């Protein structure tokens, strides 16, 4: 039968769907004809920034990808070799715009989507982390977004049965309209059961497994995730998907049993652009085609037309290519788990995607024409150094007057939302389900998980990225983001091994924003090469801006570390009375981009803190050596709030109300107390190992200064603050809920 044609397809219609006039001409050239309405919608979705990475792919390809532990052969998530025949699957993605429009479902479906990316590899998810950014809490909208996002993350993860074990939360005005909601998930899989996201084998059946298809999320990729939010953003609620964690839990179990049964050839999550995306990408990777019968797709609404069926982003669905003849086995497994299962087509060897509806051909095109890095356009965008940088770098923050005494500054910083305890948030998450969590949230610099499949071994997980530093110096800020993620993993005794990243930026067509992006990718690549932590994949989220604000450039680094012996891991809190408190690393007086500068001067100015990659490598080597030899009982890096806040957090994290008597051998200036100089950690050392630690630091050329001793119940920094651990904890843990829960 002939293909359905629609006379309404015009360049104007293409532009309404987010394509440019030039891109429409490219489509005409690729097809050699005018597309019909369904095909145009497919191109609009697949060539969107969200799906095609058309502004970023050329730069992303400069990142280091290879490494000793990196496993290739999967497109859903990164994979690293754990030894013993197992692999770790991990990835981070954004759900920013959906969360701005509908925070509960936006965040919930972000968690659901990243979990599916993990179990489509054949891996069982074992942990989730998140990285969140909001505006200031004195705005009602910020409190609404915060509560909705946190509830969405918690409800989905808790119902699905995966622990949310770590994360970070920042508050800055630039995120008022566009919150940043990034979710990272991790899973474990036997290497002989890893499933590729590839279609192969002419005649192999193509199945849709999972939920029925509805109208939710249509053009979520092209019209929501790939455009700047405006005044009418609430009208975009229909573009936000609706999640069902209980359905996803059943889908997980069915999928893993299908994999175990050996009937799966390839599999991909139906995320952005739905059936269109998964059929196109799997076919293009395999160099094959597919014949898809849209009448066979189970629908929630029988009135859906082919355009809606192809582009729906309904959640909890997978596209699975089965081994021919295995259909009865697969269908029986899906019935057992009460999971929807429908044969919707088959793999073909002619290299064409064909979609039929009511007996008529409604779309026909080569899959590669739709796919990123192949048919989809790639651009080198104009880039220009932002004009604001020279002005901000001209200000010397350390020369500003100090408006408050150190004692007042200490207490106000300890209670500021970005620094204060996130217990109010993480207590809404089940972080101990599956009982593999070794270091609980708030007790260590990175989450630590035991691996039951590999007795004795463990992993450490961290997400990091201070966007103020990146705003002030995109290249150095990216170095710091990778360095801190690696440092946090090293602080628990794990070797940093690989990175996933989520790059959140404004409009890439703005040359200043694209310059920021280019510099961040350059910095991230240099840091990952220096630490031998290759990038396994991730996500780019552009257009995070509104008429009022563009977000700061916000790269979020997800770092994975390995522990050969999980029993050697340490937390951040003081552990034993009489231990020595030792600062390791260079003590620099730097206030640029600090929480102190923002809180007391209302400024994000100066330059980002200094970072010397070789110094950082030596510090991480110190941590791994000292922790494995059990020379230190705790370790915590100096981050937001600087040295004074780092010391307070070590007391708060103590399980036995242990504090410290501390004397700092530097001028008690704001820059020394609260500056956020990098490459510094505070460790607690048993007196018997003082010499060992000092000798190791000397060998590595690292400064090492004893600044006090661990004592019961009391916390004192001479000349700054004298209080109790109980008062510290009360102030630290109550600040955020008091701000977030007010009417």
Cβ burial 251-287 (10 Å sphere, 16+ → b, else e): bbbbbbbbbeeebbbbbbbbbbbbbbbbbbbbbbbbe
The reported pLDDT for the residue numbered 12 is: 93
Output the pLDDT for position 80. 95
**293 pairs with which residues across the strands?**
356
Look at residue 449 in the predicted model and tell me its pLDDT. 95
Q: For the chain, what is the radius of gyration of the CA atoms?
A: 26
Q: In the chain, which segments carry CATH 3.90.650.10?
A: 1-64+196-373, 416-420+570-743
Cα 533 from Cα 562, distance rounded (Å): 12
Q: What is the pLDDT of residue 237?
A: 45
What's the fold here for domain 416-420+570-743? Phosphoribosyl-aminoimidazole Synthetase; Chain A, domain 2 (3.90.650)
Strand partners, 319: 208, 268
Query: What does the alpha-carbon distance between residue 12 and residue 350 come to, in Å, rounded to a whole number?
Result: 32
For residue 357, the Cα-to-chain-centroid distance in whole angstroms is: 38
Over residues 632-650, the pLDDT tens digits come to: 999 999 999 999 999 999 9
Longest dimension (CA), the chain: 86
Contacts of residue 65, defined as CB under 8 A and 6 or more positions apart, other chains included, come to: 534, 535, 536
Q: Is 287 left (phi over 0), alpha (psi -120 to 50) or beta?
A: left
pTM: 0.95
CATH of 1-64+196-373, one of 3.40.50.300, 3.30.70.420, 3.30.43.10, 3.90.650.10: 3.90.650.10
Q: How many CB atoms lie within 10 A of CB 42?
A: 28
List the alpha helices (DSSP H) in 360-473.
388-394, 406-414, 423-426, 467-472
Sheet holding 495-504, edge to edge: 437-439, 447-450, 458-464, 554-563, 495-504, 535-541
Task: Give the number of other CB atoms < 10 A from CB of residue 324.
Answer: 15
CA dihedral of 677, 514, 393, 589, whole degrees rounded to 10: 0
Q: Is 95 noted as a catalytic residue in this protein?
A: yes
- List, in order, residues 6 or more apart from 407 with CB less than 8 Å away: 720, 721
* Parts of the chain with a pLDDT under 50: 1, 7, 222, 225-226, 233-237, 743
Q: Do the Cβ atoms of 376 and 312 come closer than 8 Å?
A: no
Cβ-in-10-Å burial (0-12, 13-18, 19+) of 72 comes to exposed
Query: Which pairing describes strands 714-717 and 658-662: parallel, antiparallel, or unpaired?
Result: parallel
Cα 158 from Cα 245, distance rounded (Å):
9
């Amino acid at each position: 039968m002939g293909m359905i044609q629609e006379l309404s397809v015009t360049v104007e219609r293409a532009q309404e769907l987010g394509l440019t006039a030039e891109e429409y001409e490219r489509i005409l050239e690729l097809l050699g004809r005018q597309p019909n309405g369904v095909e145009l919608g497919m191109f609009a979705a697949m060539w969107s920034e969200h799906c095609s990475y058309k502004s970023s792919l050329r730069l992303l390809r400069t990142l280091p990808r290879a490494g000793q532990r990196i496993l290739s052969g999967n497109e859903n998530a990164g994979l690293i070799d754990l030894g013993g025949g197992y692999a770790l699957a991990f990835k981070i993605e954004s759900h920013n715009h959906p969360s701005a429009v509908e925070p509960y479902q936006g965040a919930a479906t972000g968690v659901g989507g990243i979990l599916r990316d993990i179990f489509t590899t054949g891996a069982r998810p074992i942990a989730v982390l998140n990285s969140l950014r909001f505006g200031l809490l004195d705005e009602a909208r910020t409190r609404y977004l915060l509560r909705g996002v946190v509830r969405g993350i918690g409800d989905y993860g808790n119902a699905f049965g995966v622990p949310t074990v770590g994360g970070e939360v920042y508050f800055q005005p630039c995120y008022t309209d566009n919150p940043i909601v990034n979710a990272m998930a991790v899973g474990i899989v036997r290497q002989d059961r890893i499933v590729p996201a590839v279609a192969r084998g002419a005649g192999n059946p193509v199945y849709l497994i999972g939920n029925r298809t509805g109208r939710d999320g249509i053009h979520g990729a092209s019209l929501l995730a790939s455009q700047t939010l405006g005044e009418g953003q609430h009208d975009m609620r229909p573009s936000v998907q609706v999640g069902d964690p209980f359905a996803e839990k059943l889908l997980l179990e069915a999928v893993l049993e299908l994999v175990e049964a050996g009937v799966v050839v390839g599999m991909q999550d139906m995320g952005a652009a739905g059936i269109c995306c998964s059929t196109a990408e799997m076919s293009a990777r395999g160099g094959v085609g597919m014949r898809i019968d849209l009448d066979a797709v189970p629908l929630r609404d029988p009135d859906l037309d082919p355009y809606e069926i192809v582009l729906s982003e309904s959640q909890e669905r997978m596209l699975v290519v089965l081994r021919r003849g295995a259909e009865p086995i697969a269908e029986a497994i899906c019935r057992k788990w009460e999971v929807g299962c429908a044969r919707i087509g088959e793999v073909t060897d002619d290299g064409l995607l064909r979609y039929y509806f009511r007996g008529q051909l409604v779309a026909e095109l080569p899959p590669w024409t739709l796919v990123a890095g192949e048919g989809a356009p790639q651009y080198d965008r104009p880039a220009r150094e932002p004009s604001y940088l020279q002005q901000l770098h001209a200000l010397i923050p350390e020369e500003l007057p100090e408006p408050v005494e150190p004692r007042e500054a200490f207490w106000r910083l300890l209670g500021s939302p970005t620094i204060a305890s996130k217990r109010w948030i993480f207590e809404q998450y089940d972080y101990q389900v599956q009982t593999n969590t070794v270091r609980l949230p708030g007790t260590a610099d990175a989450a630590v998980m035991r691996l039951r499949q590999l007795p004795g071994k463990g992993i450490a997980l961290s997400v990091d990225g201070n966007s103020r530093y990146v705003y002030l110096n995109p290249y150095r800020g990216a170095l710091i983001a990778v360095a801190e993620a690696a440092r946090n993993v090293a602080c628990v005794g794990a070797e940093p091994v690989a990175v996933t990243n989520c790059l959140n930026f404004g409009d890439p067509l703005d040359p200043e924003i694209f310059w920021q992006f280019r510099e961040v990718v350059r910095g991230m690549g240099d840091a990952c090469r220096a630490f031998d932590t290759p990038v396994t994949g991730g996500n780019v989220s552009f257009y995070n801006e509104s008429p009022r604000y563009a977000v700061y450039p916000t790269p979020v680094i997800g770092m994975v570390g390995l522990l050969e012996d999980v029993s050697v891991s340490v937390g951040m809190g003081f552990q034993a009375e009489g231990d020595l408190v030792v600062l390791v690393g260079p003590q620099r007086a730097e206030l640029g981009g600090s929480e102190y500068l923002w809180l007391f001067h209302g400024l994000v100015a100066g330059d980002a803190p200094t970072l010397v990659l070789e110094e950082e490598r030596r510090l991480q080597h110190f941590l791994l050596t000292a922790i494995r030899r059990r020379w230190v009982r705790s370790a915590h890096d100096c981050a937001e709030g600087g040295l004074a806040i780092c010391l307070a957090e070590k007391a708060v994290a103590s399980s036995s109300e242990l504090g410290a008597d501390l004397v700092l051998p530097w001028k008690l200036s704001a820059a020394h107390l609260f500056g956020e100089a990098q490459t510094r950690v505070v460790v607690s050392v048993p007196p018997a190992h003082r010499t060992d630690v000092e000798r190791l630091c000397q060998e590595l050329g690292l400064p090492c200064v004893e600044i006090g001793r661990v004592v019961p119940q009391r916390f004192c920094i001479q000349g700054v603050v004298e209080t109790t651990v109980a008062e510290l904890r009360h102030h630290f843990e109550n600040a955020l809920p008091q701000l977030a829960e007010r009417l």
